[in-house]
């Protein structure tokens, strides 16, 4: 199964091996380093869970079942947080990713999704969330 980032609700960037993810609806932001950032990057490029598990197993010379369980667990967590959604059948596949350009560490470390809510009030109060389609400064009256 393929997934995509839940845009426009979720924005993200991978910077120097760390995925920084922001859910604009909830105000929560997330961080993943190492294998988590790699998996996020591969998911956002439209690779299937199976392809990601196989690629990780090959890259880190590890057992495919272990890698698959790792990917499935993280994908489940990302879905529960509303960060990714299944890629619809009617949507075109994203551009293929050159897997040779993915920076990997020497050894595999289990991915960990770190969730932060300390800026929630500020992010939710941001006027960008309370405007009409025409944008700021026209506040949404509803």
Residue 38 counted as domain residue: yes
Query: Residue 21: in which H helix or E strand, if any?
Result: strand 18-23
Q: pLDDT tens digits, residue range 61-114?
A: 878 899 999 999 999 999 999 999 998 765 555 565 566 666 566 778 899 999
Q: Is residue 97 part of a domain?
A: no
User: What is the rounded (10 degree) CA torsion for 102, 105, 108, 114?
Assistant: -80
Residue 78: domain span: 3-91+102-119
In a domain? residue 125:
no
What percentage of the chain reaches a pLDDT higher than 90? 48
Q: Which of 18, 19, 27, 22 is nearest to 7 (CA)?
A: 22
Q: What is the pLDDT of residue 140?
A: 54
pTM, two decimal places: 0.77
């Amino acid at each position: 199964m393929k997934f995509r980032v839940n845009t426009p609700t979720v924005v993200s960037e991978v910077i120097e091996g760390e995925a920084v993810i922001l859910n604009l609806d909830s105000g929560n932001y997330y961080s993943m380093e190492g294998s988590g950032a790699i998996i996020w990057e591969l998911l956002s490029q439209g690779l299937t869970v199976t392809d990601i598990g196989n690629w990780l197993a090959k890259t880190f010379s590890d057992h495919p079942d272990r890698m698959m369980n790792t990917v499935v667990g993280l994908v489940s967590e990302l879905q529960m947080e509303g960060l990714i959604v299944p890629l619809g059948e009617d949507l075109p596949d994203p551009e293929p990713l050159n897997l040779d350009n993915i920076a990997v560490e020497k050894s595999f470390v289990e991915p960990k999704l770190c969730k932060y809510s300390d800026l929630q009030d500020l992010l939710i109060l941001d006027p960008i969330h309370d405007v009409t389609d025409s944008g700021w400064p026209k506040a949404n009256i509803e």
